Amino acid sequence: MIEFKNVSKVYDNGSVALDDVCLTINEGEFVLICGHSGAGKSTLFKLLTHEVVPDSGTVIVDDFDVTRMKRSKIPKLRRKLGVVFQDFRLLPNKTVSENIAFALEVIEEKPKVIKEKVSHVLELVGLTDKANDLPEDLSGGEQQRVAIARAIVNRPSVLIADEPTGNLDPDTSKGIVDLFKHINNFGTTVIMVTHNMDLVSYLNKRVIRLKDGRVQSDNMRGAEINEA
């Protein structure tokens, strides 16, 4: 479970990123975060990964109080969270397999286990035949699938995606969110930032709208919002 209790964050330059935010996201939920640029969406994610610490309030991820956590526990926290970005962030000189394997090498997984897990996750995202290609040889949608494979290969309890379809065309975007739905169906909590109202209504999941660092609404599903 993820919980934000009265969380506020003001950056050093005085920008108010989050102002007294309270949210609970249960295990296994699929939640969309919407809001204009500057609304505080990225800050919300950075609080989860402990890239940013709040000025006040508490952030809980599973049993961890992220706000009062020792530095030495950060790697353990980050293993609970798979992260996907708009710009994929793949390593350009590594193949598809190597990009995914890298996430397991850094936690010193055994080579045999790495091989098995990479092959399993490539199948899951439908890229088995691209295993030895470099990112530059793939389409945008395929690159994002590699990034998703890398994010879930350690079986995180939460997948967070910051505008994962921002660089993709509408059909490819639907394929990506279908993959998120699939991942969500086997129990992973999914939290996705999107500006794309077509995807919001297509998914028809809980929508949290942020505005100027505050929760503007958190009581609707995608289809209702587009009707409103």
Residues of this chain, 176-205, that bind ligand ADP according to CB under 6 A = 186-187
Angle 140-152/170-185 helices, nearest 10 degrees?
20
Verify binding: residue 41, ligand ADP, rule CB under 6 A. yes
Per-residue x/- marks for ligand ADP, 105-134, CB under 6 A?
---------------xx--x----------
Task: Out of 38, 140, 166, 175, point to the residue binding ligand ADP (CB under 6 A).
Answer: 38
HSE-CB at 127 with a 13 A cutoff on CA atoms is: 30
**DSSP run (H or E) holding 6:** strand 2-10
Q: Which of 59, 56, 55 is nearest to 12 (CA)?
A: 55
Which pair of structure tokens corresponds to residue 122?
């490539």
Residue 92 CB neighbours (<10 A): 8
Per CB under 6 A, the segment of 33-41, 97-105, 132-140, 199-207 that binds ligand ADP is 33-41
Query: In whole angstroms, how close is the CB of 91 to ligand ADP at the nearest point?
Result: 20
Cβ distance to ligand ADP smaller for residue 43 or 143: 43
| Concatenated DSSP letters of 101-140 | HHHHHTTT--HHHHHHHHHHHHHHHT-GGGTT--GGGS-H
Contact segment (CB under 6 A) with ligand ADP among 10-18, 58-66, 91-99, 103-111 equals 10-18
Residue 13 found at the interface with ligand ADP (CB under 6 A) = yes
Q: Could you say which of 15, 24, 56, 139 contacts ligand ADP (CB under 6 A)?
A: 15
Tokens at 60, concatenated: 């809980």
**Positions that interact with ligand ADP (CB under 6 A):** 11, 13, 15, 17, 35, 37-43, 120-121, 124, 152-153, 155, 186-187
